[in-house]
Structure 1
Protein backbone atom coordinates (compact mmCIF):
# COMPACT_ATOMS: atom_id res chain seq x y z
CA UNK A 1 0.00 0.00 0.00
CA UNK A 2 1.43 3.38 -0.99
CA UNK A 3 1.32 6.44 1.19
CA UNK A 4 -1.17 9.12 0.11
CA UNK A 5 0.30 12.07 -1.74
CA UNK A 6 0.46 15.30 0.24
CA UNK A 7 -1.93 18.02 -0.86
CA UNK A 8 -0.25 20.39 -3.33
CA UNK A 9 0.14 24.04 -2.41
CA UNK A 10 -1.98 25.13 -5.37
CA UNK A 11 -4.97 23.25 -3.93
CA UNK A 12 -4.49 24.94 -0.57
CA UNK A 13 -4.08 28.34 -2.23
CA UNK A 14 -7.22 27.78 -4.33
CA UNK A 15 -9.13 26.81 -1.19
CA UNK A 16 -8.18 30.00 0.63
CA UNK A 17 -8.94 32.16 -2.41
CA UNK A 18 -12.39 30.61 -2.58
CA UNK A 19 -12.97 31.00 1.16
CA UNK A 20 -12.15 34.72 1.07
CA UNK A 21 -14.30 35.15 -2.06
CA UNK A 22 -17.15 33.32 -0.30
CA UNK A 23 -16.91 35.61 2.73
CA UNK A 24 -17.06 38.69 0.48
CA UNK A 25 -20.02 37.20 -1.40
CA UNK A 26 -21.95 36.38 1.76
CA UNK A 27 -21.31 39.79 3.29
CA UNK A 28 -22.20 41.61 0.07
CA UNK A 29 -25.27 39.46 -0.49
CA UNK A 30 -26.54 39.94 3.03
CA UNK A 31 -25.99 43.68 2.71
CA UNK A 32 -28.22 43.70 -0.36
CA UNK A 33 -30.76 41.41 1.28
CA UNK A 34 -31.10 43.29 4.57
CA UNK A 35 -30.56 46.83 3.30
CA UNK A 36 -32.49 49.28 5.55
CA UNK A 37 -33.19 51.61 2.64
CA UNK A 38 -36.08 51.24 0.23
CA UNK A 39 -34.62 48.65 -2.12
CA UNK A 40 -36.59 46.98 -4.94
CA UNK A 41 -37.50 43.32 -4.56
CA UNK A 42 -35.23 42.02 -7.36
CA UNK A 43 -32.21 43.62 -5.68
CA UNK A 44 -33.05 41.87 -2.43
CA UNK A 45 -33.52 38.58 -4.27
CA UNK A 46 -30.16 39.01 -6.00
CA UNK A 47 -28.55 39.62 -2.61
CA UNK A 48 -30.00 36.38 -1.32
CA UNK A 49 -28.80 34.45 -4.36
CA UNK A 50 -25.31 35.90 -4.10
CA UNK A 51 -25.13 35.00 -0.39
CA UNK A 52 -26.32 31.45 -1.18
CA UNK A 53 -23.72 31.18 -3.96
CA UNK A 54 -21.03 32.24 -1.48
CA UNK A 55 -22.13 29.56 0.97
CA UNK A 56 -22.17 26.99 -1.83
CA UNK A 57 -18.70 27.97 -2.98
CA UNK A 58 -17.33 27.63 0.54
CA UNK A 59 -18.89 24.17 0.93
CA UNK A 60 -17.60 22.96 -2.43
CA UNK A 61 -14.14 24.36 -1.71
CA UNK A 62 -14.00 22.53 1.61
CA UNK A 63 -14.96 19.22 0.03
CA UNK A 64 -12.47 19.77 -2.81
CA UNK A 65 -9.73 20.41 -0.28
CA UNK A 66 -10.38 16.97 1.14
CA UNK A 67 -9.58 15.49 -2.25
CA UNK A 68 -12.94 14.75 -3.87
CA UNK A 69 -12.59 15.46 -7.61
CA UNK A 70 -16.36 15.77 -8.13
CA UNK A 71 -16.57 18.67 -5.70
CA UNK A 72 -13.47 20.22 -7.24
CA UNK A 73 -15.09 20.19 -10.68
CA UNK A 74 -18.29 21.65 -9.25
CA UNK A 75 -16.37 24.38 -7.42
CA UNK A 76 -14.51 25.33 -10.59
CA UNK A 77 -17.77 25.48 -12.55
CA UNK A 78 -19.47 27.59 -9.86
CA UNK A 79 -16.47 29.90 -9.67
CA UNK A 80 -16.51 30.52 -13.43
CA UNK A 81 -20.28 31.12 -13.37
CA UNK A 82 -19.82 33.56 -10.50
CA UNK A 83 -17.16 35.42 -12.45
CA UNK A 84 -19.71 36.27 -15.15
CA UNK A 85 -22.35 37.38 -12.64
CA UNK A 86 -19.88 39.35 -10.54
CA UNK A 87 -18.56 41.17 -13.60
CA UNK A 88 -22.09 42.42 -14.28
CA UNK A 89 -22.63 43.31 -10.63
CA UNK A 90 -19.34 45.18 -10.41
CA UNK A 91 -20.22 47.27 -13.45
CA UNK A 92 -23.78 48.00 -12.35
CA UNK A 93 -23.19 48.72 -8.64
CA UNK A 94 -19.63 50.10 -8.73
CA UNK A 95 -18.77 48.28 -5.48
CA UNK A 96 -15.15 47.10 -5.40
CA UNK A 97 -16.03 44.13 -3.20
CA UNK A 98 -17.54 42.40 -6.23
CA UNK A 99 -14.27 42.85 -8.10
CA UNK A 100 -12.35 41.38 -5.17
CA UNK A 101 -14.64 38.34 -5.09
CA UNK A 102 -14.43 38.04 -8.89
CA UNK A 103 -10.63 38.02 -8.91
CA UNK A 104 -10.37 35.58 -6.00
CA UNK A 105 -12.92 33.17 -7.49
CA UNK A 106 -11.13 33.26 -10.84
CA UNK A 107 -7.67 32.78 -9.30
CA UNK A 108 -8.95 29.86 -7.23
CA UNK A 109 -10.46 28.20 -10.30
CA UNK A 110 -7.31 28.67 -12.36
CA UNK A 111 -5.15 27.30 -9.55
CA UNK A 112 -7.38 24.25 -9.31
CA UNK A 113 -6.78 23.62 -13.02
CA UNK A 114 -2.98 23.65 -12.67
CA UNK A 115 -1.20 20.37 -13.49
CA UNK A 116 -0.18 19.68 -9.88
CA UNK A 117 -3.78 19.91 -8.68
CA UNK A 118 -5.10 17.85 -11.58
CA UNK A 119 -2.52 15.18 -10.89
CA UNK A 120 -3.38 15.11 -7.18
CA UNK A 121 -7.08 14.65 -7.90
CA UNK A 122 -6.20 11.93 -10.41
CA UNK A 123 -4.16 9.93 -7.89
CA UNK A 124 -4.82 6.18 -7.47
CA UNK A 125 -8.04 5.44 -5.66
CA UNK A 126 -9.89 8.48 -6.97
CA UNK A 127 -11.93 8.98 -10.11
CA UNK A 128 -9.63 11.65 -11.48
CA UNK A 129 -10.24 15.29 -12.19
CA UNK A 130 -10.44 14.89 -15.97
CA UNK A 131 -12.43 11.70 -16.14
CA UNK A 132 -16.18 11.38 -16.29
CA UNK A 133 -16.56 9.43 -13.08
CA UNK A 134 -19.68 7.32 -12.73
CA UNK A 135 -20.36 5.20 -9.73
Structure 2
Protein backbone atom coordinates (compact mmCIF):
# COMPACT_ATOMS: atom_id res chain seq x y z
CA UNK A 1 0.00 0.00 0.00
CA UNK A 2 1.44 3.37 -0.99
CA UNK A 3 1.47 6.24 1.49
CA UNK A 4 -1.17 8.94 1.20
CA UNK A 5 0.02 11.79 -1.01
CA UNK A 6 0.95 15.03 0.70
CA UNK A 7 -2.06 17.37 1.00
CA UNK A 8 -1.93 20.56 -1.01
CA UNK A 9 -2.39 22.55 2.22
CA UNK A 10 1.03 21.31 3.41
CA UNK A 11 2.68 22.66 0.26
CA UNK A 12 0.80 25.94 0.60
CA UNK A 13 1.84 26.23 4.25
CA UNK A 14 5.44 25.47 3.31
CA UNK A 15 5.60 28.20 0.68
CA UNK A 16 3.84 30.75 2.88
CA UNK A 17 6.28 30.06 5.71
CA UNK A 18 9.23 30.30 3.31
CA UNK A 19 7.97 33.67 2.03
CA UNK A 20 7.63 34.89 5.63
CA UNK A 21 11.09 33.59 6.48
CA UNK A 22 12.64 35.28 3.44
CA UNK A 23 10.95 38.57 4.33
CA UNK A 24 12.33 38.31 7.87
CA UNK A 25 15.83 37.62 6.56
CA UNK A 26 15.68 40.53 4.11
CA UNK A 27 14.37 42.79 6.86
CA UNK A 28 17.17 41.69 9.15
CA UNK A 29 19.83 42.25 6.53
CA UNK A 30 18.53 45.74 5.86
CA UNK A 31 18.50 46.56 9.57
CA UNK A 32 21.94 45.07 10.16
CA UNK A 33 23.51 47.20 7.45
CA UNK A 34 22.28 50.60 8.64
CA UNK A 35 25.10 53.11 8.75
CA UNK A 36 25.59 56.13 10.96
CA UNK A 37 25.62 58.74 8.19
CA UNK A 38 22.24 57.67 6.85
CA UNK A 39 20.74 57.64 10.33
CA UNK A 40 22.19 61.07 11.10
CA UNK A 41 20.72 62.52 7.89
CA UNK A 42 17.18 61.47 8.85
CA UNK A 43 17.42 61.98 12.63
CA UNK A 44 16.34 65.10 14.44
CA UNK A 45 19.21 67.50 15.02
CA UNK A 46 18.56 67.44 18.78
CA UNK A 47 19.48 63.74 19.00
CA UNK A 48 23.02 63.30 20.27
CA UNK A 49 25.53 61.15 18.42
CA UNK A 50 25.76 58.80 21.41
CA UNK A 51 22.00 58.17 21.48
CA UNK A 52 21.98 57.66 17.73
CA UNK A 53 24.85 55.17 17.98
CA UNK A 54 23.00 53.24 20.71
CA UNK A 55 19.89 53.19 18.55
CA UNK A 56 21.84 51.88 15.57
CA UNK A 57 23.47 49.18 17.70
CA UNK A 58 20.06 48.06 18.92
CA UNK A 59 18.67 48.11 15.35
CA UNK A 60 21.58 46.01 14.11
CA UNK A 61 21.06 43.54 16.93
CA UNK A 62 17.38 43.23 16.06
CA UNK A 63 18.38 42.79 12.42
CA UNK A 64 20.72 39.91 13.19
CA UNK A 65 18.05 38.35 15.41
CA UNK A 66 15.55 38.69 12.56
CA UNK A 67 17.93 36.89 10.19
CA UNK A 68 18.35 34.05 12.68
CA UNK A 69 14.62 33.57 13.33
CA UNK A 70 13.92 33.73 9.59
CA UNK A 71 16.51 31.02 8.94
CA UNK A 72 15.13 28.82 11.73
CA UNK A 73 11.58 29.25 10.46
CA UNK A 74 12.66 28.26 6.95
CA UNK A 75 14.47 25.20 8.31
CA UNK A 76 11.45 24.10 10.35
CA UNK A 77 9.13 24.61 7.37
CA UNK A 78 11.35 22.39 5.23
CA UNK A 79 11.41 19.63 7.82
CA UNK A 80 7.64 19.90 8.23
CA UNK A 81 7.13 19.35 4.52
CA UNK A 82 8.78 15.91 4.83
CA UNK A 83 5.93 14.75 7.05
CA UNK A 84 7.42 14.58 10.54
CA UNK A 85 4.63 15.41 13.05
CA UNK A 86 7.16 16.68 15.61
CA UNK A 87 8.34 19.35 13.19
CA UNK A 88 4.74 20.30 12.39
CA UNK A 89 4.10 21.07 16.04
CA UNK A 90 7.44 22.85 16.39
CA UNK A 91 6.79 24.93 13.27
CA UNK A 92 3.37 26.02 14.48
CA UNK A 93 4.72 26.91 17.94
CA UNK A 94 7.72 28.78 16.52
CA UNK A 95 5.54 30.64 14.00
CA UNK A 96 3.23 31.80 16.79
CA UNK A 97 6.23 32.89 18.87
CA UNK A 98 7.67 34.84 15.93
CA UNK A 99 4.32 36.53 15.28
CA UNK A 100 3.96 37.56 18.92
CA UNK A 101 7.56 38.76 19.11
CA UNK A 102 7.42 40.87 15.94
CA UNK A 103 4.11 42.47 16.88
CA UNK A 104 5.25 43.06 20.49
CA UNK A 105 8.46 44.75 19.35
CA UNK A 106 6.50 46.86 16.89
CA UNK A 107 4.03 47.98 19.53
CA UNK A 108 6.25 48.31 22.59
CA UNK A 109 9.54 49.55 21.15
CA UNK A 110 8.24 51.17 17.96
CA UNK A 111 11.44 50.38 16.06
CA UNK A 112 10.48 47.55 13.75
CA UNK A 113 10.58 47.83 9.99
CA UNK A 114 7.45 47.54 7.91
CA UNK A 115 8.88 44.51 6.11
CA UNK A 116 8.91 42.54 9.37
CA UNK A 117 5.25 43.34 9.95
CA UNK A 118 4.42 42.30 6.38
CA UNK A 119 6.27 39.01 7.03
CA UNK A 120 3.77 38.20 9.78
CA UNK A 121 0.91 37.78 7.29
CA UNK A 122 2.27 34.77 5.36
CA UNK A 123 3.50 33.27 8.63
CA UNK A 124 0.00 33.52 10.11
CA UNK A 125 -1.63 31.89 7.11
CA UNK A 126 1.09 29.24 6.84
CA UNK A 127 0.68 28.25 10.48
CA UNK A 128 -3.11 28.20 10.11
CA UNK A 129 -2.78 25.99 7.05
CA UNK A 130 -0.82 23.47 9.12
CA UNK A 131 -3.70 23.23 11.60
CA UNK A 132 -6.33 22.16 9.06
CA UNK A 133 -8.00 18.80 9.85
CA UNK A 134 -6.82 17.14 6.62
CA UNK A 135 -3.25 18.17 7.30
CA UNK A 136 -3.42 16.95 10.89
CA UNK A 137 -4.80 13.62 9.69
CA UNK A 138 -1.99 13.27 7.15
CA UNK A 139 0.64 13.90 9.81
CA UNK A 140 -1.07 11.39 12.11
CA UNK A 141 -0.63 8.70 9.42
CA UNK A 142 3.18 9.09 9.66
CA UNK A 143 3.84 9.16 5.91
CA UNK A 144 7.61 8.99 6.29
CA UNK A 145 9.23 6.02 4.55
CA UNK A 146 10.26 3.17 6.81
CA UNK A 147 13.89 2.03 6.51
CA UNK A 148 14.56 -1.70 6.38
Which TM-score band applies after superposition, normalised by the shorter structure? 0.7 to 0.9
Matched, 1:56 2:75: no
Q: Which residue of 1 aligns with 2:50?
A: none
Is residue 89–residue 98 contact of structure 1 (8 Å, CA) maintained in 2?
Answer: no
1:94–1:52 distance in 2 versus 1, CA, 3 Å: closer
**Does the CA-based 8 Å contact 1:11-1:111 persist in structure 2?**
yes
**Larger-Rg structure:** 2
What SS does the aligned partner of 1:4 have? coil
Residues paired across the two proteins, number: 125
Aligned to 2:125: 107
SS of residue paired to 1:40: helix
SS of the aligned residue for 1:3 comes to: coil
1:78 maps onto 2:78 in alignment: no
Q: Whose RCO is larger (CA < 8 A, sep 6+)?
A: 2
Provide the alpha-carbon RMSD of the alignment. 1.7
5 Å-filtered alignment, 1:1-135, equals: 2-37=1-36, 38=53, 39-91=55-107, 92-93=110-111, 95-124=113-142
Compute the TM-score of the two structures, normalised by the length of structure 1: 0.84
Moved more, 75-84 or 28-37: 28-37
Contact kept? 1:90, 1:96, Cα under 8 Å: no
Change in 2 beyond 3 A, CA 1:96/1:43 = closer
Stretches of structure 1 that go unaligned for 5 or more consecutive residues are 127-135
CA contact (8 A) 1:10 1:112 kept: yes
Label 1:115 to 1:30 Cα distance change in 2 as closer, same or farther (>3 A).
same
Instruction: Provide the secondary structure at the position in 1 that maps to 2:127.
Output: helix
Q: Which runs of 5+ in 2 are unaligned?
A: 37-52
